[in-house]
Each structure stands twice: as structure tokens, then as C-alpha cells.
Structure 1
């Protein structure tokens, strides 16, 4: 929730590192922690409106029986200081499937799983504590690919960052959730959403799309689909020309020739990581997925 808008609407409220424990105070999770608002400072109509917009009562939402749901969505104080990360999973093709067996497989795989719960029919939350046995992000994606094959599912998986500051868990999770939702809206075919790549997309895409300069450079530099493919391969292979050529089934000299022509036209140097990163961002933002 936008902290500035809340402060403007309710100047009598204040920010805190901890959620309120009293029923006489409304607690909002924001990008700056928790915003506390005493109910007695509001009119009855304002209280009714806020209550309508607040999360449902516990009896109406089974997920609230999970403590980690209340920590992440309601701002309840965490019971552990162990760093955690949240893995968000969207089942894009909801239908009858062996859900109990699927969840059992997930719990067997994630040895440090603190909690798991559905927040809707198509969305699962996994809360994982940090330990030496945590899987690398790419291995997590591989595990869900295998499960999709075994259970005839199509899942999209967002792996969040590990968070150490327990007081900010709810606010950090809220922002990660916003990042994942935007990524889902932008790509219906993508299955894997690592935190770093998704965060770059979330914070950079829109400003770049609105820039006349960036639009112009993309049209001038990347009109050739074959050069776009070469640049993508270079990026994925950390600038290694031989590996990029092998991936594209092209001779190394052919790739070098095309790179030289591109650099001559743009005055860029693709051995310079800043130039390669810039090309990658323009292609990622403007190319059709």
C-alpha cells in the first residue's frame, strides 16, 4: 500500500516498525513498514469503509489459520529471526489434480519449509527458512518443471529473496507480490521468475518504455532479428562469442563479423559489459516475448 497516499488521507496516523496488537487500531502494511491508525479518530462511516477493504475475518479465510499467512498479509509479528524467502506459485491451468500428493512432493523436496498454504484456488505460497540445504534458484525451477510433467500441470514460479529484517517481512513480501503480479500480466508463457530479473523488469521497464530516446535507439539498433538473436546469445553466455556461436549453430567468424558490423554502426563495444547490459535492457523491454 502506498505510504504517501495513506499519510495524505489520514494525517492523524503514524508509521511503526511493528503492527498494532490492539483491536482499537487499524494496521496497514506499506512500503515503509506499518501505518497505524486509531479507530477513535475516525467517523463510524470511515471505520466501516476501512473494514470493508481490510482482509476477511479468520473464519472466512482458511489460509488465516496459518501463522505465516498472518505474518505476511496481516502484519503479525514474526516468531523467528531466521532469514526466510517466499516462493509464489501460480497454477495457470486449474483443474482437478492430485493436490495432496503434489503438496507432499513439494514438502519432501524443500527440507527447510516453514509453511505452505493456498491463498486462492490457483496460488500457493511457500515460506522457506535459510539453511545450507536450500536449493539454488535454477534448481527450484527444474524441480517444478519435473513436477509439472509428473502431475500434468502448468505452474509459474517466482522465487523471492531471503529477508533478514523480520520487522519488514510483510512490507518486503508485499512488494515481491506486486513484482510477480506485474510479471504474470506481462507474460502468459513465461514459467520461471527469479527475483533479480523480475525486479529489474518491475523497476526499469515502464520508465524505459516511456522514453522517446530509448524507443528511437531500439528502432535504429535492433531492426535486424538475426542481430537481436546474437545479442541475446551473447548476454546469456556472459559475452563469450564462441559459446554464443555454438548456441546459435553459427560459425564463430560469422558471429564476429556481425558483431563488428553492429559495433561500427552503433559505436558500441560489446566487450564492455555496460554496453552489453544496455543492449540487453532495450531488447528485453521492447522485443515481443
Structure 2
């Protein structure tokens, strides 16, 4: 299939590296990217034909799902399935999968691991969703990481996860879930611990556009990037909440050595890493 020819038939079609968009689209895999066509521009017959084309290009290699939650997320259902409890979306992106990966066993394992769940299903070959309500057992991110690590060892894969907030199942839920999809797909490549929640990525996600449009911030960013060890210094201090002793241990250097580097940093940039406002600014620049 040639995207340029499809584009002539559907001028609204776009090509993206991300599988999910803000609006409801029919997505078709294309050369390690995704073609998106707004569903509102298609009639039922066109959707059926394009779906057949999609299956010809890349037959689904994961179990098809008749999930009501999947239909809701795909825009084929106006309201979420009936539930009175707040719900959350846990997104998993799997890496290093081979042809022997068993989707059915994975779904069964995830279901038991996170029990109780409302649903578990795949939306792309590598992307698995878990829908939970707030009657489920509350696990910390560290505990969830441990749970997923067990499965990684069993399946010989690598997992990245976004733990969503609990939200009321009302008219705004679809828009909220779609934004969580976008947040994760844009931030997954920047994860350090491979598991995150909104608070872990909010600073970068909600400030990156403003930062990219600021001449002042871009100039500061260029200054920081000239010294290869400054990013490591800033991250160590930020992660230790400005505690010099803890940061020094993280960097495997003496406290006095760290203090000397901070002084040199101030002399060069005019920003003091002892000041939390300056440290926050520098952190945003190196994210």
C-alpha cells in the first residue's frame, strides 16, 4: 500500500509514529508507523473495507477482543460499560517479544496478578490495557514493578507501564483515557524506571511545548548540553531533593567534590543548584 495514494482518497489521513490520536481514528500499520483516518469522515462501508485492508497488511497477531471497554476506547461505544466505581487504565508496552510469545497465557497471568480486574486486552501487538476499579487491592508502584518483573522473567520480555489515576465513569472518561494514552506513548521512551504515573511525567509532558518555544530556555539548554557531566549532576541533586550527601553517594564521589562541581556550575551559568527554584529550572532543561 502507498500512503500517498491513500492520502489522495482521504485528505484527512495522517501518518504518525504513535498508534493513538486525540480524536477517534481508524488506524492502519504502515512501515513501523500508523496511518490515522478520522472515523467521522468514514461511512460504515468504508470502515469495513479499510478494516479488511488492515488485516491484509498485518493480520492481528494477538487475540481479538469483544471487550466493551475496548469498544468504548475505540470510539465504537458512547458510554463506558456500566460501573458505579471509579476506574483506572493501566497501560503496558511490551518489548523484546518473539514469535513464541503466548498472548493468551500473558492475559491470564496479568488477570490473576492484578485481580480483581474489569478487563485485560491488547490494542496493538505490543500494547496491553488493564481496566480496574477502586475495589482492587492498592499496590505501590514499587510493588507493581515487582509483579511485572516476575512476568518479565517468565516470558523473557521487557515491560514499560503507566499507572493511571482512578476516575469517575462519567461522560468525560473517554477524553481522560485518551489523554492518558497520549501522555504514555509520548513519554514512554523517556522513562528511567520503566514504570510511571502522572506525577512522574507531568513536569516534562506539560512543559515541553512551552520550553521548546522559548528562546531564553533554548539558550540555557544549549549551555547545559555543552558540559556532558552537568545532566548527571542535576539529576542526582533533583532525585535526592537537593540533599548533597545523598547525591554524592549516588554519583560515587566525595561530598566536597560535589560541592566543588556545584560551585563551578554556578560560576558558569549563574544558577545555584542549592536553590530549589534554580534546581527545578535546570531539571526541566535536561529532561
Give yes or no for TM over 0.5.
Answer: yes
1:82 CA drift (Å)? 1.1
Q: Which residue of 1 aligns with 2:247?
A: 244
Alpha-carbon separation, structure 2, partners of 1:261 and 1:274? 18
1:246 CA drift (Å)? 0.5
**Where does 1:107-146 land on structure 2 (aligned, <5 Å)?**
107-131=111-135, 133-146=137-150
1:220 paired to 2:223:
yes
1:102 paired to 2:106:
yes
Give the stretch that moved more between structures: 171-180 or 270-279.
270-279
Q: Which residue of 1 aligns with 2:67?
A: 66
1:132 CA drift (Å)? 6.8
Asked whether the equivalents of residues 85 and 128 of structure 1 are also in contact (C-alpha less than 8 Å), the reply is yes
Q: Secondary structure at the match of 1:156?
A: strand
1:196 paired to 2:199:
yes
Q: Secondary structure at the match of 1:65?
A: coil
1:182 CA drift (Å)? 2.0
Q: How does the TM-score come out when normalised to structure 1?
A: 0.71
1:231 CA drift (Å)? 1.1
Asked whether the equivalents of residues 94 and 121 of structure 1 are also in contact (C-alpha less than 8 Å), the reply is no
Moved over 6 A (4+): 54-57
Alpha-carbon separation, structure 2, partners of 1:192 and 1:201? 15
Give the stretch that moved more between structures: 239-248 or 140-149.
140-149
Q: How does the TM-score come out when normalised to structure 2?
A: 0.71
Cα 1:47–1:263 change in 2 (3 A) is closer
Q: Secondary structure at the match of 1:120?
A: coil
Alpha-carbon separation, structure 2, partners of 1:253 and 1:281? 26
Q: Which residue of 2 aligns with 1:90?
A: 93
Q: Secondary structure at the match of 2:162?
A: strand
Cα 1:116–1:47 change in 2 (3 A) is closer
Q: Deviations over 1:92-122 (max 9, x none)?
A: 3332224333333322221331111112322
1:188 CA drift (Å)? 9.5
Q: Secondary structure at the match of 1:113?
A: coil
| Aligned Cα root-mean-square deviation (Å) | 3.1
Q: Which 5+ residue runs of structure 1 have no aligned equivalent?
A: 1-28, 32-45, 285-289
1:279 CA drift (Å)? 0.7
Cα 1:263–1:81 change in 2 (3 A) is farther
